[in-house]
Amino acid sequence: MATRGLIPVPKDRFVRRGPDDYAQGALSLLPRGDIWNRDLRRLVMRIVDGLARFWAYVDGRAADLLERESDASRTVELLPEWETAFGLPDPCFPEATTIGERQRMLVTQITWQGGQSRQYFIDLLAWIGFRVVIHEWSPFMAGISRCGDTRPAPDDVFRWYIGRPENRFAWTAQIGHMGLTWFRASAGQAGVDHHLEYRTPLAIECLLMRWKPAHTWLVFDYSSLGFGDPMEGTP
């Protein structure tokens, strides 16, 4: 028990009481006398012991629900209820069937608020397990562009030679490698989930086409697709 000033503060927010705690509480409520002897061999004591074990089990289960199942990143038993509340499973990830993948998609659905920057999409896909490089394009502009220079600008915006003004609304998502899903204790199922699983990047197209700014054109580039570092993403 820690103290903050003069007020004791419990270290565990979910204080778990065992069978002895409940037995002691129940016995303190019983009358005194010869008939209520605390001999462990007596029937009344065996009844109290059985009830105390059951109450301790209920106490532990309630603490589990409060401590673990209230956390979207750790929930297992209430995962279907969480998914129903947030509109999952996602049609872009029909293959997300393991506990770990479902937890990750749930956290994504809850926490990601939206955005339109390159970094937003890069971070979002990295969280799901994919690495992408995003390029933006723009037409040749007098006073800004230089003839013959098509190198990327410092902000990674590629300049065209001459093009339509609408080219500024085009961008490319270059997919770096397949998605890697590693087995994680408490999120995976032993004997069911593999130590490492590869996921196809087709889910990226579904997500980006759904979340991209409506007025933009999105082109997917798989020319550098690979498996990445075999140990990348290792927990």
- Domain ranges across the chain: 16-69, 88-221
Question: Which pLDDT tens digits describe the chain residue by residue (235 residues)?
Answer: 444 444 555 555 667 889 999 999 998 888 888 778 788 788 888 899 999 999 999 998 888 888 888 889 889 889 999 999 998 888 887 656 678 878 888 988 888 877 888 888 888 888 777 788 888 877 767 776 666 665 555 555 555 555 677 778 888 888 876 666 666 665 566 766 666 666 666 778 888 898 898 889 898 887 776 655 555 544 4
pTM, to two decimals: 0.56
Residue keyed to tokens 């699983």: 197
What burial class does residue 70 get, using C-beta atoms within 10 Å of its C-beta: 0-12 exposed, 13-18 middle, 19+ buried? exposed
Q: Where are the beta strands (DSSP E) in 149-210?
A: 157-159, 170-175, 179-182, 196-199
Alpha-carbon distances of 204 from 66, 73, 207, 210, 233, rounded to whole Å: 34, 22, 5, 10, 18
**Rg of the chain over all Cα atoms, to the nearest angstrom:** 29
Lookup: tokens for 78: 């209430």
How many residues are there in the chain?
235
